[in-house]
Structure 1
């Protein structure tokens, strides 16, 4: 099984939108075989905080700290992306 990586943009714009708290929320809910990392700009300024999950390349936009638990339980543990939170630019409804 390929380990997952969760990248949370902590560059200027996302940081102003609260990405440090999103990063802390992911770090407080560790999952086996999942690495949580602070990232430089992911190129989606103004839609953050951005969360990018590899290797499947799933994008979440405007993630709030209180939503992290849902992503951890449904996506990282359950394997099912959280549809309502997906970034529409890369995951059109």
Structure 2
């Protein structure tokens, strides 16, 4: 199944710069990965939120300068970036 990256563009995440996070993903496209916007993910105040599907991996408080790490390690390398995982969803 093709990977999809969803970057929340709802009001709260946009307030924290999710538009710049989206632009950072779009600047470095990965073959076989689609980057999309989405509405509220229900994690307001913890954004910008990024969801990678079908992996079910949530990243929180993502800054644009962290996007290359997600791209290299997770999208190209297949390993989620543990230090950036949303602790409310990913325990341990």
In the alignment, structure 1 segments of 5+ residues that lack a partner are none
Cα deviation for residue 6 of structure 1 reads 0.1
Q: Give the match for residue 88 of structure 1.
A: 87
Q: SS state of the match for residue 20, structure 1? A: helix
Cα deviation for residue 20 of structure 1 reads 0.1
Q: TM-score, normalised by structure 1?
A: 0.97
1:38-87 residue CA offsets vs partner (Å, 9 max, x unmatched) = 11101100000000000011000000000000000000000000000000
Q: Give the match for residue 47 of structure 1.
A: 46
Q: Give the match for residue 18 of structure 1.
A: 17
Aligned counterparts of 1:35 and 1:13: Cα–Cα separation in 2: 23
After TM superposition, what 4+ stretches of structure 1 lie above 4 angstroms from structure 2? Answer: none
Cα deviation for residue 92 of structure 1 reads 1.4
Q: TM-score, normalised by structure 2?
A: 0.99
Aligned-pair Cα RMSD in Å: 0.5
In the alignment, structure 2 segments of 5+ residues that lack a partner are none
Aligned residue pairs, count:
92
Aligned counterparts of 1:84 and 1:61: Cα–Cα separation in 2: 10
Q: SS state of the match for residue 70, structure 1? A: helix
Aligned counterparts of 1:29 and 1:7: Cα–Cα separation in 2: 15
